[in-house]
Amino acid sequence: MVAEVKSLHTHQEDVSRLRALFDAQRAAFRAQPYPTAEQRIEHLDRIKPLLLDHMDEIAAALKADFGHRSEDETKLAEILTSLEGIKYYRKRVRKWMKPQKRGVGAMGFPGAASVIYQPVGVVGVIVPWNYPVYLAVGPLIAALAAGNRVMIKMSEFTPHTGELFAKLIAKAFPEDHVAVVNGEVEMGAAFSKLPFDHLLFTGSTSVGRHIMRAAAENLTPVTLELGGKSPTIIGEDFAMKDAAERIAFGKCFNAGQTCVAPDYVLCPTGRVDEFIDAFRKQVSEMYPTMRDNPDLTSVINERQYQRLKGYLQDAQEKGARLVEINPANEDFSGTRKIPFTLVLNVTDDMKIAQDEIFGPLMIVQPYRSLDDAIDYVNDRPRPLALYYLDWNSDRANQVITRTHSGGVCLNDTMSHVGIDDIPFGGIGESGMGHYHGYEGFLTFTKAKGVFRKGRFNATRNILPPFGGRMHKFIYKFLLK
């Protein structure tokens, strides 16, 4: 009972602190509602040294959170991509801020119309555990480029990284500008209930529904990045060695713990064994040993590890064929590493077919024709990413135009996420809204229409009483 009272008291304190942070940011925004381009660029520039000067600390924190996290994967996916994003936004924000002239039409003559791009205010960002630095910095720089204040909730599953990131951000920004908060699930729930001017969440579809419900109470607009089961279709005559190499990149990175990792492969009937052999060879070349290989990342925690092992057990019990890739025949006991495993003969009643895998397991499903492959994708919830491997442009265009997905990557996997100039975002069960690129700037901006009337008031010609000559002339003119 004492513990419960103490926990409740602590939770109330956390909620009060969150509200105080939010109120401070809102007050600061009201005091400076439209930062100049120079100010926004300076805000972006504060983040670069935090990443470069503390790269080793970030890598160590992520390694501690994952049990083992490849340092090179951290540098590539967390640091380099974030730095590229900063460079991209700082070069373009001045142009994007400029008001745009728009036409007025006959009803607005004489007058001038324009659109100004105004910061929305205080932005909330809820960060997942799989790429906690990149998925905190990406929305942060887009929101700062748009001129906003930002509150960031880090994942409870990466406490070392969350604590370090909070310290680094505190060095560069006052809390009324950018604030990082850590805490357990209760803190995340309280965070999502704040009346943000925009809320961005990256995570699972099930949690995304809770986030959207909480945001609805405040009519807070949301951007949801939710993942899903991203398919890879191998073209009928695509070289299998190249297919295995490109799929392995997206599947093996971060041990498959990526929202856009290939979830299942649609392989031409008759070439499945060819793909298995090519994929096994490719993975074995990348990871000749696995247990103590510094390049191979662990599954983040015991909960996720047991979930993945459960998928394998369930699939095998229901008749699936498992192809485990373990080049050195190692024993992984006492680790959270799982050998990359292909799962064949999958049926819809298997758990692995129903949920996003988010780990080093991948379904292989044969298809007879491209139409069948497209139908297979369209019969399922719309994914965050879709991959198609084929040098034939006509077939590629069929796949692009006849399927829906958050994004498409042709002849590669995962690399489209690092292209800063295209939007990133889901559709349907894989999410809503965009960030990255110009669309990221717009997400955290209010495009406000402004109409200016001159000294001459043409409106007096259409004032009551109606039915005069001028009204008849105007109707005749407008209805032509």
User: What kind and span of H or E run contains 250?
Assistant: helix 240-252
Query: Taken in order 403, 405, 407, 413, is the CA torsion positive or negative?
Result: negative
Q: Cα(110)–Cα(103) distance, rounded to whole angstroms? A: 11
Beta bridge partners of 116: 448
| Catalytic residue list contains 429 | no
Is 283:372 a contact under the CB 8 Å cutoff? Answer: no
From the list 259, 356, 409, 429, the catalytic residue is 259
- CB under 8 A, 24+ apart: contacts of 61-66: 61/158, 61/160, 61/161, 61/163, 61/164, 62/132, 62/133, 62/158, 62/160, 62/161, 64/160, 65/129, 65/132, 65/157, 65/158, 65/159, 65/160, 65/161, 65/300, 66/297, 66/298, 66/299, 66/300
From the list 73, 225, 356, 429, the catalytic residue is 225
Q: Cα(311)–Cα(48) distance, rounded to whole angstroms? A: 40
User: What kind and span of H or E run contains 388?
Assistant: strand 385-389
- CB under 8 A, 24+ apart: contacts of 30-33: 33/118, 33/119
Q: Cα(159)–Cα(39) distance, rounded to whole angstroms? A: 32
Strands 431-432 and 222-225: antiparallel
Cα–Cα distances in Å, from 49 out to 52, 339, 405, 429?
5, 37, 36, 37
Helices 2-31, 185-192: axis angle to 10 degrees equals 40
Q: Which letter does DSSP use for residue 357 in this model?
A: -
Is 416:462 a contact under the CB 8 Å cutoff? Answer: no
| Catalytic residue list contains 225 | yes
State the chain's maximal CA–CA distance in angstroms.
Answer: 93
Query: DSSP of 224-248, one letter per residue?
Result: EE----EEEEE-TTS-HHHHHHHHH
Q: Which amino acid is at 439?
A: E
Which of 408, 357, 412 lies closest to 384 in space, CA to CA?
Answer: 408
Q: Which two tokens stand for residue 135?
A: 């998925």
Q: Cα(458)–Cα(207) distance, rounded to whole angstroms? A: 54
Count of Cβ atoms closer than 10 Å to residue 476 Cβ? 9
Q: Cα(319)–Cα(202) distance, rounded to whole angstroms? A: 34
Cα–Cα distances in Å, from 68 out to 63, 200, 268, 298, 459?
5, 28, 36, 5, 70
Point out the residues that are catalytic.
225, 259
